[in-house]
Amino acid sequence: MELIGAYDFSGMVYHARLAKEKIELAGSDMTVGANYLGVTFDNDMIYQPEYTFKNNDGDPYIVDNHVASIDIKGNLTSKVFLMMDLALSWDDSTMFKRIQDTTIAANYEKGYYDEGTSTPAFGLYIKAQDKHWEPITIEAVYLPKDFFSPFGMTDPSRFLSWRQDEFYVGAGTFRYGPNMVGANVKVEPQFNRGRFDVQYGVHKQLEKGDDVVNFKYNLNGRAVWESSNSWTRYKPLFHSDSGNVSNDARYLSRVGGKTTNKLDDQTGGLRGGTWELWDGFVPYTSADDAAKGNIPQHVKWNASLVIDAGYDISHWFGTDRNIMLSVYSALSGVSTSFAPIAYSESQKDMLMWNWFVQSEPAVAITPTLHGLLILGFETFRAENAFVKRTIPSGLPVQGTGYTAAYKNGVFKYEHAPIDILETALGFGLDWDFTPRAGLHFRYKWMTHSDEFASENDWKGHYFAVESKMWF
């Protein structure tokens, strides 16, 4: 149950699939399947001391998730591939009633509660590829605000904040979520000695939502995740630096959204996912709004342009040992109006802009030993972002952007635009010591620079060795 971000509470997961394979119809070869997935929780979990999932009146409640779907997948012809999922999502809620005028958990009797079922929501995913010319792949999604598939594409980072309004840099192209519609188009020209893939995606929200923006560190995020505290690594409910001795976080996060409890915490800061590292913030319009938590709301858009290219230049040197040059680059931007290409954080209505580039040129030292270089940088930029600082005791408390007393001072909210730059420089070795097993070594020197929050700057060496076996 930890896999759905439920803080290790007890429950059950039910899954069933019935499929018919190799359906031949007019030359096609298709598979048709029907699926069900249910996640149910035990009522007793509300008595666990760390359970804090409650409504506005302080009464605990539990939400059980269900999704049923029909899918088809296969080749319609030798040059046309189709995959489609049509799903129905709903949930069952259990609201516990208070027996006495107190919030003590013992005063909630196990049999005293109301149950209800939500209105079902339909979700649709389509992927089609045509090879009559160059391979062209189209992906399209329609995911209403109330649609949720546990363990599926709308379950980002195994974190049950899906009920809250959140949007992602690279939304739809790199990460799906509820309240989203859009499509990706990918063209893969075929030629000898290399590849050149171009993908373009546009996705938007179906309904207006809170401007809570999440972004993932693509270049060095996995390395930082692997180096984080083991007990926070797999728990998105915690910040990644919450395992240090001090109660104060070592990472100065931008101000996020709601902070009701762990299960719907939208505060900014570093969080783990699965082999990844996420950050988040709210683009408030002023320090006063940040202090009061006045989250702006818009229908948000994301446009992404991705290029993945590689070319073997070994013939330039008259050798049959591969020398592969490669580069991967992605531009993404979240905005409150349609922007065909995200090229700057200063574009009209742009909430956050991201540019990621990585190159790993490789050479075959021997037929079973390859060496490679690691070169990359990534930048995140957002004009409207704020940090919360503690002002020492004795200083005047005045003006906007201040909140209640804390320890020996007060909180002050300051404008701190996001201007983050990460770099990576390193090398690696891949040794295939048997046909189905290999040893892989990586080293890189990583840097992180935060222009307007220098407390977050860091540099570090990263070493990794792993063995992979293929069965």
Strand boundaries in 226-300, DSSP class E:
271-272, 277-281, 297-298
Query: How confident is the model over 354-369, as a mean pLDDT?
Result: 96
DSSP summary character for residue 120 = P
Of residues 227 and 375, which shows the higher confidence score?
375
Taking a C-beta distance cutoff of 8 angstroms, is the pair 60, 51 a contact? yes
Q: What local confidence, expressed as pLDDT, does residue 2 receive?
A: 44
Parallel, antiparallel, or unpaired for β 113-117 and 80-96?
antiparallel
Taking a C-beta distance cutoff of 8 angstroms, is the pair 346, 383 a contact? yes
Parallel, antiparallel, or unpaired for β 409-415 and 437-450?
unpaired
Q: What local confidence, expressed as pLDDT, does residue 322 receive?
A: 92
Q: Average pLDDT over the chain, rounded to whole?
A: 86
Please, which pLDDT band fits residue 3 given cuts at 50, 70 and 90? very low
Who's near 251: CB < 8 A, 6+ residues apart? 239, 240, 241, 269, 270, 456
Could you identify the residue written with the tokens 């503690």? 390
Distance CA 147, CA 118 (A): 11
Whole-model pTM: value is 0.88
Q: Pick from 273, 292, 271, 294: which is nearest to 283 by CA?
A: 294
Both structure tokens of 358: 């990585």
Question: Looking at the DSSP assignment, which residues form a beta bridge with residue 449?
Answer: 421
Distance CA 64, CA 92 (A): 5
DSSP 3-state assignment of 55?
A: coil
Q: What local confidence, expressed as pLDDT, does residue 106 receive?
A: 52
> What one-letter code names the amino acid at 68?
A
Query: How confident is the model over 438-456, as a mean pLDDT?
Result: 96
Q: How much of the chain, in percent, has pLDDT values that exceed 90?
A: 58
Of residues 46 and 159, which shows the higher confidence score?
46
pLDDT digits (tens, 9 = 90+) for 390-437: 776 655 555 566 666 555 567 789 999 999 999 999 999 999 999 899
Choice among 248-252, 319-323, 458-462 with the minimum mean pLDDT: 248-252
Could you identify the residue written with the tokens 């399947």? 33
Please, which pLDDT band fits residue 153 given cuts at 50, 70 and 90? confident
Distance CA 24, CA 168 (A): 40
Both structure tokens of 204: 């938007």
Query: How confident is the model over 24-41, as a mean pLDDT?
Result: 86
Query: How confident is the model over 299-315, as a mean pLDDT?
Result: 96
Burial of 441 (0-12, 13-18, 19+ CB in 10 A): middle
Please, which pLDDT band fits residue 99 given cuts at 50, 70 and 90? low
Please, which pLDDT band fits residue 250 given cuts at 50, 70 and 90? confident
Please, which pLDDT band fits residue 205 given cuts at 50, 70 and 90? very high
For residue 146, what are the CA distances in angstroms to 70, 159, 165, 302?
19, 16, 11, 20
Distance CA 283, CA 383 (A): 8
Highest mean pLDDT among 49-63, 233-247, 440-454: 440-454
Distance CA 280, CA 261 (A): 16
Distance CA 161, CA 12 (A): 20
Q: What local confidence, expressed as pLDDT, does residue 227 receive?
A: 84
Who's near 26: CB < 8 A, 6+ residues apart? none
Q: How many CB atoms lie within 10 A of CB 59?
A: 16
Q: What local confidence, expressed as pLDDT, does residue 152 receive?
A: 79
Is the pLDDT score of 297 beyond 90? yes
Is the pLDDT score of 320 beyond 50? yes
Q: What local confidence, expressed as pLDDT, does residue 298 receive?
A: 96
Choice among 28-42, 226-240, 436-450 with the minimum mean pLDDT: 226-240
pLDDT digits (tens, 9 = 90+) for 6-32: 445 577 889 999 999 988 776 678 999
Of residues 268 and 424, which shows the higher confidence score?
424
Distance CA 334, CA 356 (A): 15
Both structure tokens of 410: 């007060």
Q: What local confidence, expressed as pLDDT, does residue 368 receive?
A: 94
pLDDT digits (tens, 9 = 90+) for 107-122: 555 557 778 898 999 9
Taking a C-beta distance cutoff of 8 angstroms, is the pair 120, 89 a contact? yes
